[in-house]
Structure 1
Amino acid sequence: MDDKDMINLWKSYDKRLEESLILNRKNTEEITRINVQNSIGSMKPVKLVILLVGIAWVSAGSVLVVNLLRFSFEEVSKFFLFSATAQLFITLLAIIVYLYQFVLIQQVDSSEPILETQKKVAQLQSSTLWVTRILFLQLPLWTTFYLSESLFKNANLAFYLLQGFVTLSFTYAAFWLFVNINYGNSDKKWFRLLFDGREWTPVIKSMEMLRQIEEYH
């Protein structure tokens, strides 16, 4: 075999090797896309259950509040009415966000462009942070719904101090969480405790897999 044959053989080997690498990269990318879709799709049952529970909660609560306003407005505690109404409104906002997320999850498709998938996953991440921030705004309401005018009239100083401390503590906690729940704190221990679950982990894993696909190009 002369030098020319050796060169041609080497070129042929290089070509087959390059084609094999391209094919492997393509297969790896397709598998990763499918894994991303499956990972995001695994969130659907959780989102659906939360949606159904949230809708049932708001429906039942709304019926209760409306009936109290219609038939026993004078007797019912205004603290309860305010707390319940505000809690139902916050839950309704959360339901809207969860419905938006459910639609996003349905739209994730392994055959769509990477940028489109990245955009949807980023929207899932952002909306997950936002819905958690919104839901924590309910914290102070759980310290006021049981109050009544008669309770305040007959209470002593110890009650006022304890009630004030609890309500202010929960209000501060709600405000602090609303401000600090952001991706910049994702490395903090308290953040990982809050977001270590089926509503967060698939999103982070999908983002990592999408970054791997970007590296193939």
Structure 2
Amino acid sequence: MEDKELINLWKTYDKKLEENLTLNRKNAEEITKIKIQSSLASMKPLKVFTVIVGILWVTFVDVLILGAFKAGGTFFLVSAIIQVILTKLAIGIYMYQLILIDKVDINDSILVTQERIARLKSSTIWTTRLLFLQLPIWTTFYWTETMWTNANVWTYIIQISITLIFTYAAIWLFVNIKYENRDKVWFQWIFNGKEWTPVMKSMAMLEQIEGYKVAHEL
């Protein structure tokens, strides 16, 4: 066999190998995208349930606020208003997340999918930070002017100490709940579940796709 024929055979083999590698890479990408879509879709039932319960809750609290306004319950009124505002913000973020999840499509580019997952990650963190800001108001909603008028020194010390502790915890969590702390034990304890795990799995799978591309280029 002449050298020219050997060269042609080698080129043909090399071309077929390249085509097979490209096909395998595309198949791997498509399968990974399907897995990402499925993983994110698993978040929807809990988020829909949370939105429904949240709407019912804020409706109930709004009714209580009207009652407290008429009755003049200042402490309860202020606490309830803060709580319901934060809850409504959280509900709005949950609805935004549902829209993001619905928009994830296997036909989208990797960059588009990465952007949407990044938004899911960021909004999940923000929702948690906002909800933890509610901690102090759970120690003040039951206060009344009569309680403070007739309270002894120990009541003042205990009640104010509890509120300060919860306020410190709320501020500390609001400041420290960020992606950079994702490896901390307390962070993983807070975020372990359907609200976070699918997002992390999807990000890992996107990195796999990037790995396929890098390997192909090499």
Match of 1:158 in 2: 154
Write the distance in 2 (CA, Å) between the matches of 1:54 and 1:82. 19
Give the secondary-structure state (helix, strand or coil) at the position aligned to 2:128: helix
Q: Which runs of 5+ in 2 are unaligned?
A: 214-218
Match of 1:147 in 2: 143
Moved more, 195-204 or 167-176: 195-204
Match of 2:185 in 1: 189
User: What amino acid sits opposite 2:98 in the alignment?
Assistant: F
Give the secondary-structure state (helix, strand or coil) at the position aligned to 1:209: helix
**Quick check: 2:129–2:174 contact (8 Å CA) kept in 1?**
yes
**Quick check: 2:68–2:74 contact (8 Å CA) kept in 1?**
no
TM-score scaled to structure 2, two decimals? 0.93
User: What amino acid sits opposite 2:162 in the alignment?
Assistant: V
Q: Which runs of 5+ in 1 are unaligned?
A: none
For 1:39-59, what per-residue CA distance to the aligned partner results, in whole angstroms no more than 9, with x for missing partners? 111111111011001000001
Match of 2:102 in 1: 106
Match of 1:211 in 2: 207
User: What amino acid sits opposite 2:189 in the alignment?
Assistant: L
* Residue in structure 1 matching 2:77, options 64, 73, 81: 81
**Post-superposition offset of 1:60:** 1.1
Write the distance in 2 (CA, Å) between the matches of 1:40 and 1:111. 15
Match of 1:42 in 2: 42
User: What amino acid sits opposite 2:32 in the alignment?
Assistant: T
**Quick check: 2:32–2:209 contact (8 Å CA) kept in 1?**
yes
Match of 1:119 in 2: 115
User: What amino acid sits opposite 2:109 in the alignment?
Assistant: P
Match of 2:32 in 1: 32
For 1:157-208, what per-residue CA distance to the aligned partner results, in whole angstroms no more than 9, with x for missing partners? 1111111110000000000000000011111110011111111111111111
2:124 counterpart of 1:128: yes
Moved more, 179-188 or 203-212: 203-212
**Post-superposition offset of 1:68:** 3.5
Aligned length: 213
Write the distance in 2 (CA, Å) between the matches of 1:214 and 1:169. 45
User: What amino acid sits opposite 1:13 in the alignment?
Assistant: Y
User: What amino acid sits opposite 2:153 in the alignment?
Assistant: L
**Post-superposition offset of 1:2:** 4.1
2:194 counterpart of 1:198: yes
For 1:17-53, what per-residue CA distance to the aligned partner results, in whole angstroms no more than 9, with x for missing partners? 1111111001001111111111111111111011001
For 1:57-104, what per-residue CA distance to the aligned partner results, in whole angstroms no more than 9, with x for missing partners? 00111122213324xx24xx3211111111111101111111111111
Match of 2:53 in 1: 53
User: What amino acid sits opposite 2:202 in the alignment?
Assistant: S
Give the secondary-structure state (helix, strand or coil) at the position aligned to 1:199: coil
Write the distance in 1 (CA, Å) between the matches of 2:190 and 2:116. 22
* Residue in structure 2 matching 1:138, options 134, 139, 149: 134
Aligned Cα root-mean-square deviation (Å): 1.3
User: What amino acid sits opposite 2:135 in the alignment?
Assistant: L
Moved more, 10-19 or 183-192: 10-19
Match of 2:216 in 1: none
User: What amino acid sits opposite 2:114 in the alignment?
Assistant: Q
